[in-house]
Amino acid sequence: MVEKRLHLTFPLSLVKEPIIWRLGRDFKVITNIRRANVTHEGGWVVLGLEGEELEIQRAVDYLVGRGVLVRPVDGQVLE
C-alpha cells in the first residue's frame, strides 16, 4: 500500500458536491483531509490517499474527470 498527498482545487460548481466522500465509497482508497479552505468562490483541500497505486490512479482520474485540479504535494504536511 502507498500513500499520496495531493492538493485539490475545486471550482465553485463542485464545492457543494461530496466528491471526497465518493472517493472512499467508489474506490478502494482511504481518504485523509490534511488541510482545507472553502469559500464562496471555490475551495482547496490537501488530501492523503492511501491504497494500491492503481486504485489511487483511478481515484485521481475520477477527480480530473470531474474538473478538479490535482497536483502532488511535496514535503511534509501537518504530521
CATH of the domain at 64: 3.30.70.260
Q: What is the pTM of this model?
A: 0.88
| pLDDT tier for residue 78 given thresholds of 50, 70 and 90 | very low
Assess if residue 78 is contained within a domain: no
Only one residue has cell 500513500, namely 3
13 is a domain residue: yes
Strand partners, 4: 49
d(CA 79, CA 67): 29
28 is a domain residue: yes
Contact status, residue 27 vs residue 66, Cβ threshold 8 Å: no
Span 22-48, pLDDT tens digits: 999 999 999 999 999 998 888 999 999
Give the separation between CA 20 and CA 65, rounded to whole angstroms.
Answer: 14
pLDDT at 50: 97
48 in any annotated domain: yes
Structural domain for 8, as ranges:
2-32+43-72
> Is the residue at 53 inside a domain?
yes
* Count: domains in the chain: 1
Residue 49 belongs to a domain:
yes
pLDDT digits (tens, 9 = 90+) for 66-77: 999 999 997 644
> Of 35, 38, 48, 37, which is closest to residue 4 (Cα–Cα)?
48
Judge whether 77 lies within some domain: no
